[in-house]
């Protein structure tokens, strides 16, 4: 992802700029870095939730695919 598509990277770039602009007061930079960290945690949490949902869907499908047919009529075309 480029900085224009990655809000965390954009926030970190603004934090670096804030450190250059105010070398003795890093409050703004720290706030921006905390926001970038929070964004990355949210993205990681969303990805983990999506992964868990995909794994559960695959488990459910696997159970259905591996189950033998209930009767011979299901096997015949």
What burial letters (b/e) apply to 59-75, b meaning 16+ CB within 10 Å?
eeeeeeeeeeeeeeeee
Tell me the average pLDDT of the chain: 85
For residue 68, what pLDDT is reported? 65
Q: Which of 30, 36, 32, 49 lies closest to 8 in space, CA to CA?
A: 36
Averaged pLDDT, 72-76:
57
For residue 49, what pLDDT is reported? 97
pLDDT tens digits, 38-65: 999 999 999 999 999 999 998 888 766 7
For residue 60, what pLDDT is reported? 84
CA 26 to chain centre: 29
What is the value of pTM for the model shown? 0.68
């Amino acid at each position: 992802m480029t900085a224009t598509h990655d809000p965390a990277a954009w926030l970190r770039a603004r934090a670096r700029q804030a450190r250059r602009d105010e070398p003795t007061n890093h409050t703004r930079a720290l706030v921006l870095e905390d926001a970038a960290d929070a964004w990355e945690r949210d993205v990681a949490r969303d990805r983990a939730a999506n992964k868990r949902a995909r794994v559960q869907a695959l488990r459910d499908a696997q159970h259905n695919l591996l189950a033998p047919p209930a009767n011979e009529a299901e096997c015949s075309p």
